[in-house]
Structure 1
């Protein structure tokens, strides 16, 4: 019985080959960009999508791991600790839509959350920490990528980012890192907003009255779509861009690198 239990726990924590494949694509595409191998614009696309997917998996993993520490022992049997995107509650909401949002508008919007059995967890603070764990992953990713961009270690200007007839004095890898940083920062900011269905609301929800929670619950499925629609409005989008630009400045990173990275990422466009 002990050996079976140990084996089961091992399987529940074993990292998924799908996640390892995404991490391998991230590393391989980064190496290709650094060495000038292959099509740079397609390389930026692979690097950003793989990096974004890896961060989404770790975002959901953080929710699950914190829930396990809080008392929900079912997250292991559900496969949430394997970093397998196919095991999470809703693949379309958690991964497909966030990637589509990036491709369509260059917006880092979070996906759906893992299904936590909240009745197994006692204490409002624990519930708040579970909701906060995911966005903190995006914050960490954002800090790391911004430090890498501001440090200039990957910015070999002898290999410029070429878009159409124009060559920009920033390496494809540096522009890819900057765009990935932009996505992480926007994801952290948006996901921490107290909008029903997002983690920001999940942080404050345990502290609200039952009547308020019940009144808000029907609107939770539409929170992310509402944010996406708002981001398409020029005023809101500009406000977000200005805020992220200010954060880039705090780290000594150039927001223009992110713009170039976004243009490089969109290799299917005619420029």
Structure 2
């Protein structure tokens, strides 16, 4: 007799996710040890794989919170496996965020886990589900910046410090931007349960364009400058120097000689 599956469904960590983590570890070691023939490409692999790992954790946080809030269909959808191929829209959750990263050095996750909201009772639970993703970016970013804050990074290879600083900066931008109350972003998902039906109906048509609108606004030079001034201030609180972030960005763009 087959045993009934738990309400969590399949929660085994996907080999695909483990493979991405392995790329992050190996490329990070290559940057640290200067083993790679092209350290800039190693930095590129480290940052991209680390960014994809954070995207998977971001979506996992949404899914896990939804499961504990009442949506027991989450496990059957495969969201608890951390497999990026299980997302409803891999384009929104993986491809577009990586594209934004390549184009502008900005961490801006999409949203792609389908949550059956009708199974969840209570506005606070709905808000927490939306907040769980960017809060994961906050936690990941803090962990990446702790070595700088504690002084443990002093003496580490400059390339590795810079790659780590750049990846941490991406987490900060992802958290900050995704908490904006813009339709299509998690920040709007936090406040949406508390809005009237009429307001939600009027805003709904703009949701598919919120992500692109934010990215477009960031391309305005004056906005971009002010935004990164804020980002550098935040990472500076943790002892991450602006020069490290900028050098990490330079190393990341290995195709620009």
TM-score, with normalisation over the residues of structure 1?
0.91
Q: Secondary structure at the match of 1:214?
A: helix
Q: Deviations over 1:217-266 (max 9, x none)?
A: 11001111001111111111111111111112211220210000000000
Which of 244, 249, 254 is the equivalent residue of 2:231? 244
Cα distance in 2 between the residues matched to 1:9 and 1:123: 20
Query: Where does residue 17 of structure 2 map in the other structure?
Result: 19
Aligned to 1:216: 203
2:51 maps to: 52
Give the superposed CA RMSD. Answer: 1.5
Counterpart mapping for 1:151-230 below 5 A? 151-156=150-155, 159=157, 171-230=158-217
1-structure distance, mates of 2:235, 2:250: 18
Distance 2:152 2:27 in 1: 17
State the 1:152 CA deviation.
4.7
Find the aligned partners of 1:238 and 1:60 in 2 and give their Cα distance: 29
How many residue pairs align between the two structures? Answer: 256
Gaps of 5+ in 1: 160-170
Q: Is the 8 A contact 1:26 1:46 kept in 2?
A: yes
Question: Counterparts of 2:52 and 2:132 in 1: how far apart (Å)?
Answer: 17
Q: Partners of 1:27 and 1:231 in 2: how far apart?
A: 31
SS in 1 for 2:108: coil
Q: Are residue 254 (structure 1) and residue 252 (structure 2) matched?
A: no
Question: Matched residue of 2:121: which SS?
Answer: coil
After the TM superposition, list the runs of 4 or more consecutive aligned residues in structure 1 that deviate by more than 2 angstroms.
Answer: 8-11, 148-157
